[in-house]
Protein backbone atom coordinates (compact mmCIF):
# COMPACT_ATOMS: atom_id res chain seq x y z
CA UNK A 1 0.00 0.00 0.00
CA UNK A 2 1.48 3.35 -0.99
CA UNK A 3 1.86 6.33 1.34
CA UNK A 4 -0.70 8.21 -0.75
CA UNK A 5 -3.28 5.42 -0.34
CA UNK A 6 -2.58 5.15 3.38
CA UNK A 7 -2.96 8.92 3.72
CA UNK A 8 -6.26 8.84 1.81
CA UNK A 9 -7.63 6.07 4.04
CA UNK A 10 -6.54 7.99 7.15
CA UNK A 11 -8.17 11.15 5.82
CA UNK A 12 -11.45 9.27 5.19
CA UNK A 13 -11.38 7.75 8.69
CA UNK A 14 -10.66 11.11 10.33
CA UNK A 15 -13.42 12.68 8.24
CA UNK A 16 -15.83 10.03 9.54
CA UNK A 17 -14.85 10.83 13.12
CA UNK A 18 -15.33 14.53 12.46
CA UNK A 19 -18.82 13.94 11.08
CA UNK A 20 -19.74 11.90 14.14
CA UNK A 21 -18.66 14.75 16.39
CA UNK A 22 -20.76 17.27 14.46
CA UNK A 23 -23.88 15.20 15.20
CA UNK A 24 -22.96 14.65 18.86
CA UNK A 25 -25.51 16.05 21.31
CA UNK A 26 -24.09 18.71 23.61
CA UNK A 27 -26.57 18.61 26.49
CA UNK A 28 -26.40 16.17 29.42
CA UNK A 29 -28.08 13.08 28.00
CA UNK A 30 -30.62 11.06 29.96
CA UNK A 31 -29.56 7.42 29.96
CA UNK A 32 -32.41 5.28 28.57
CA UNK A 33 -34.83 8.18 27.97
CA UNK A 34 -38.38 7.58 29.15
CA UNK A 35 -41.58 9.58 28.68
CA UNK A 36 -41.29 12.92 30.45
CA UNK A 37 -43.33 13.08 33.66
CA UNK A 38 -46.74 14.54 32.89
CA UNK A 39 -47.37 18.20 33.57
CA UNK A 40 -50.98 19.29 33.81
CA UNK A 41 -51.22 22.95 34.81
CA UNK A 42 -52.83 26.26 33.82
CA UNK A 43 -51.09 28.40 31.20
CA UNK A 44 -50.81 32.19 31.15
CA UNK A 45 -54.04 32.43 29.13
CA UNK A 46 -56.02 30.43 31.69
CA UNK A 47 -56.06 27.31 29.47
CA UNK A 48 -55.31 23.77 30.55
CA UNK A 49 -51.82 22.60 29.55
CA UNK A 50 -50.82 18.94 29.26
CA UNK A 51 -47.23 18.16 28.33
CA UNK A 52 -48.31 14.92 26.64
CA UNK A 53 -50.34 16.98 24.14
CA UNK A 54 -47.11 18.48 22.75
CA UNK A 55 -45.70 15.34 21.11
CA UNK A 56 -44.28 16.22 17.72
CA UNK A 57 -42.51 19.28 19.17
CA UNK A 58 -39.32 19.73 21.14
CA UNK A 59 -40.29 21.22 24.50
CA UNK A 60 -37.77 23.20 26.55
CA UNK A 61 -38.89 23.27 30.19
CA UNK A 62 -37.55 25.71 32.73
CA UNK A 63 -38.67 26.11 36.35
CA UNK A 64 -38.42 29.65 37.70
CA UNK A 65 -40.35 32.68 38.91
CA UNK A 66 -41.27 36.16 37.75
CA UNK A 67 -39.55 38.02 40.63
CA UNK A 68 -36.22 36.29 40.00
CA UNK A 69 -33.49 38.93 39.72
CA UNK A 70 -30.95 37.03 37.65
CA UNK A 71 -31.11 33.34 36.67
CA UNK A 72 -34.65 33.30 35.24
CA UNK A 73 -34.45 36.40 33.04
CA UNK A 74 -31.03 35.30 31.82
CA UNK A 75 -32.29 31.81 30.95
CA UNK A 76 -35.43 33.06 29.19
CA UNK A 77 -33.34 35.54 27.19
CA UNK A 78 -31.05 32.69 26.16
CA UNK A 79 -34.00 30.50 25.17
CA UNK A 80 -35.30 33.38 23.04
CA UNK A 81 -31.86 33.41 21.37
CA UNK A 82 -32.09 29.65 20.80
CA UNK A 83 -35.34 30.11 18.88
CA UNK A 84 -33.86 32.97 16.86
CA UNK A 85 -30.95 30.73 15.80
CA UNK A 86 -33.33 28.19 14.28
CA UNK A 87 -34.97 28.48 10.89
CA UNK A 88 -38.63 29.54 10.94
CA UNK A 89 -39.61 25.96 10.12
CA UNK A 90 -37.51 24.54 12.96
CA UNK A 91 -38.72 27.17 15.45
CA UNK A 92 -42.35 26.16 14.71
CA UNK A 93 -41.50 22.77 16.23
CA UNK A 94 -40.04 24.13 19.48
CA UNK A 95 -42.05 25.20 22.52
CA UNK A 96 -40.52 26.95 25.54
CA UNK A 97 -42.45 26.28 28.77
CA UNK A 98 -41.80 28.21 31.98
CA UNK A 99 -43.15 26.57 35.17
CA UNK A 100 -43.41 28.70 38.30
CA UNK A 101 -41.60 27.81 41.51
CA UNK A 102 -43.35 30.71 43.25
CA UNK A 103 -47.07 29.94 43.08
CA UNK A 104 -47.79 32.30 45.99
CA UNK A 105 -46.95 35.35 43.84
CA UNK A 106 -47.02 34.11 40.23
CA UNK A 107 -50.61 34.55 39.13
CA UNK A 108 -51.86 33.88 35.61
CA UNK A 109 -51.73 37.61 34.86
CA UNK A 110 -48.23 38.04 36.25
CA UNK A 111 -46.85 35.07 34.33
CA UNK A 112 -48.55 36.26 31.16
CA UNK A 113 -46.81 39.63 31.37
CA UNK A 114 -43.51 38.03 32.32
CA UNK A 115 -43.11 35.35 29.64
CA UNK A 116 -44.54 37.50 26.84
CA UNK A 117 -41.87 40.12 27.57
CA UNK A 118 -39.31 37.55 26.38
CA UNK A 119 -41.27 35.93 23.55
CA UNK A 120 -45.05 35.87 22.92
CA UNK A 121 -44.70 32.23 21.88
CA UNK A 122 -43.44 31.15 25.32
CA UNK A 123 -45.90 29.46 27.66
CA UNK A 124 -45.96 30.16 31.40
CA UNK A 125 -47.57 27.65 33.75
CA UNK A 126 -49.04 28.20 37.21
CA UNK A 127 -51.18 26.39 39.75
CA UNK A 128 -51.32 25.74 43.48
CA UNK A 129 -48.26 24.55 45.39
CA UNK A 130 -50.15 21.33 46.12
CA UNK A 131 -50.49 20.66 42.38
CA UNK A 132 -46.93 21.76 41.58
CA UNK A 133 -45.09 19.80 44.29
CA UNK A 134 -45.41 16.36 42.58
CA UNK A 135 -44.13 17.92 39.34
CA UNK A 136 -41.11 19.39 41.12
CA UNK A 137 -40.41 15.97 42.62
CA UNK A 138 -40.80 14.18 39.27
CA UNK A 139 -38.23 16.49 37.64
CA UNK A 140 -35.92 16.68 40.65
CA UNK A 141 -36.54 20.42 41.04
CA UNK A 142 -35.37 21.96 44.31
CA UNK A 143 -37.07 25.13 45.59
CA UNK A 144 -36.67 26.97 48.85
CA UNK A 145 -38.06 30.31 50.02
CA UNK A 146 -35.34 32.66 51.27
CA UNK A 147 -36.83 35.44 53.42
CA UNK A 148 -33.48 36.63 54.78
CA UNK A 149 -32.25 37.95 51.43
CA UNK A 150 -33.26 41.57 52.03
CA UNK A 151 -34.67 41.63 48.51
CA UNK A 152 -36.98 44.44 47.43
CA UNK A 153 -39.18 41.67 46.00
CA UNK A 154 -39.94 40.51 49.56
CA UNK A 155 -38.25 37.13 49.31
CA UNK A 156 -36.18 35.14 46.85
CA UNK A 157 -36.70 31.55 45.80
CA UNK A 158 -33.61 29.39 45.55
CA UNK A 159 -34.35 26.85 42.83
CA UNK A 160 -32.92 24.38 40.34
CA UNK A 161 -31.66 26.23 37.28
CA UNK A 162 -31.68 23.57 34.56
CA UNK A 163 -33.43 23.49 31.20
CA UNK A 164 -35.07 20.14 30.44
CA UNK A 165 -35.48 19.06 26.81
CA UNK A 166 -38.39 16.79 25.93
CA UNK A 167 -38.02 15.34 22.43
CA UNK A 168 -40.68 15.01 19.74
CA UNK A 169 -41.63 11.55 21.05
CA UNK A 170 -42.36 13.01 24.49
CA UNK A 171 -39.22 11.57 26.10
CA UNK A 172 -37.13 13.48 28.60
CA UNK A 173 -33.93 13.44 26.58
CA UNK A 174 -31.45 16.13 27.69
CA UNK A 175 -30.82 18.72 30.36
CA UNK A 176 -28.73 21.88 30.27
CA UNK A 177 -27.07 23.60 33.20
CA UNK A 178 -27.36 27.33 33.75
CA UNK A 179 -25.09 29.19 31.37
CA UNK A 180 -25.12 26.60 28.59
CA UNK A 181 -24.44 28.51 25.34
CA UNK A 182 -27.64 28.95 23.30
CA UNK A 183 -25.66 27.68 20.28
CA UNK A 184 -25.32 24.28 21.98
CA UNK A 185 -29.06 23.99 22.64
CA UNK A 186 -29.91 25.08 19.08
CA UNK A 187 -27.38 22.54 17.76
CA UNK A 188 -29.11 19.71 19.68
CA UNK A 189 -32.58 20.80 18.58
CA UNK A 190 -31.56 20.72 14.92
CA UNK A 191 -30.32 17.14 15.35
CA UNK A 192 -33.40 15.98 17.25
CA UNK A 193 -35.80 17.50 14.72
CA UNK A 194 -34.19 15.32 12.03
CA UNK A 195 -34.77 12.07 13.96
pLDDT at residue 150, as a whole number: 58
User: CA–CA distance from 81 to each of 78, 100, 131, 180 (Å)?
Assistant: 5, 21, 31, 12
HSE, side-chain direction, 13 A CA sphere, residue 91:
13
Is 16 a residue whose pLDDT tops 60?
Answer: no
What's the whole-number mean pLDDT along residues 35-41?
97
Is 195 a residue whose pLDDT tops 90?
Answer: no
Do residues 176 and 162 make contact, with C-beta atoms less than 8 angstroms apart? Answer: yes
pLDDT at residue 20, as a whole number: 36
HSE, side-chain direction, 13 A CA sphere, residue 35:
8
- How many Å apart are CA 7 and CA 108, to the nearest integer? 63
Residues 118-165: tens digit of each pLDDT: 999 999 999 999 999 999 999 999 999 988 765 566 789 989 999 999
Percent of the chain with pLDDT over 90: 79
pLDDT at residue 140, as a whole number: 95
- How many Å apart are CA 184 and CA 84, to the nearest integer? 13
pLDDT at residue 149, as a whole number: 60
Q: What is the CATH code for 27-194?
A: 3.40.30.10
Largest CA distance in the chain: 75
CA 81 and chain centroid, separation: 12
Is 68 a residue whose pLDDT tops 70?
Answer: yes
pLDDT at residue 121, as a whole number: 95
Amino acid sequence: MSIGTTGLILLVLLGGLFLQRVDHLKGAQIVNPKPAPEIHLIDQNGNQFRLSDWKGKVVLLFFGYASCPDVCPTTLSELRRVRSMLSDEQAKHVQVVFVTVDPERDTVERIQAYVSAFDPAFLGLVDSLETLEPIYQAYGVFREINTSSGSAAGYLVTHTARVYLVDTDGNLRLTYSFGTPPEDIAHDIRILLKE
